[in-house]
A and B are shown apart, each in its own frame.
Chain A
Amino acid sequence: MMIFDAVADVLAERNGCDRSEITPDTRFLDLGADSLDVVEMMMDLEEKLGREVELTERVETVGELVKFLEKHYGA
Chain B
Amino acid sequence: MAFAAEPYVRQVYYYETDRMSIVHHSNYIRWFEESRLDFMRQAGLPYEAIEREGILMPVTDVSAKFLSPSRYGDTVRIFPFMTEFNGVRASFRYEVRLPDGKLLATGTSGHCFVDERTRVPLNLKKRDPKAYELLRGLTEPDGAQADKEENKR
State the A residues within 8 Å of B (CB): 35-36, 38-40, 42-43, 52, 54-58
Interface-facing stretch out of B11-19, B73-81, B114-122, B140-148: B114-122
Residues from chain A with Cβ under 8 Å of B123 in the complex: 39, 42-43, 54
Q: Which residues of B contact A (CB under 8 A)?
A: 60, 86, 88-89, 112, 115, 118-123, 126-127
Q: How far is the CB of B137 from chain A (nearest CB, A)?
A: 19
The answer to whether B86 touches A40, judged by C-beta atoms less than 8 angstroms apart, is yes
> Within the complex, which residue of B60, B86, B89, B118 is in contact with A56, where a contact is CB–CB below 8 Å?
B118
The distance from the CB of A47 to the nearest CB of chain B, in whole angstroms, is 14
**Beta-carbon contact of A57 and B118 below 8 Å:** yes
> Which residues in A have their C-beta under 8 angstroms from that of B126?
52, 54
Report the bound CA distance from A43 to B112 in whole Å: 15
- Additional A-B contacts beyond A42-B123, A54-B127 (5; CB < 8 A): A36-B60, A55-B121, A57-B118, A58-B119, A58-B120
Among B89, B119, B120, B127, find the residue whose CB has the most chain A CB atoms closer than 10 A.
B120
Q: Assess the A55–B88 pair: CB atoms within 8 A.
A: no
A36 and B112 within 8 A (CB): yes
Whether the Cβ atoms of A35 and B118 lie closer than 8 Å is: no
Q: Which residues of A contact B119 (CB under 8 A)?
A: 58
Complex: chain A residue closest to B123, CB-CB: A39
Question: Closest 5 interchain pairs by CB?
Answer: A39-B121, A39-B88, A40-B88, A35-B121, A54-B126
How far apart are A37's CB and chain B's nearest CB, in angstroms? 9
CA distance A47 to B120 in the complex (A): 22
